[in-house]
Amino acid sequence: MPDINYIRAEIDRMRVQVGRQRKEILQLQRAGIGTASAEALLSRMEAKIETLCAQRDEMKKDEPCEHRSRRVLGGRKW
């Protein structure tokens, strides 16, 4: 099972891809080309991101409480 850092990186990577896909869909629409298959791909990508976010949330819930409570906004460790 991948660790939480891998899942976070995968979510970030997928979000970048979704942004690129949306831009490509807009370009296709401006050119008058059908976008049904591209929109289907976009919805599958978004579903994958939701699945990864659910996995991440489960892993965060399983983290020990002492590790989570030490975090401060900005990443400072006081």
Domain count, the chain: 1
Say if 54 falls within a structural domain: yes
Higher pLDDT, 18 or 66: 18
Tell me if 33 is assigned to some domain: yes
Q: Evaluate whether residue 14 is within a structural domain.
A: yes
Is residue 34, in this structure, part of any structural domain at all? yes
What does the pLDDT read at residue 64?
A: 72
**Two structure tokens written together for 23:** 């831009």
Range of the domain at 23: 4-62
Distances from the Cα of 9 to the Cα of 12, 17, 27, 60, angstroms:
5, 12, 28, 15
Query: Token match 């939480």: residue?
Result: 4
Query: What's the pLDDT tens digit per position in 25-78?
Result: 999 999 999 999 999 999 999 999 999 999 999 999 887 765 555 566 776 665
Instruction: For residue 18, tell me if it sits in a domain.
Output: yes
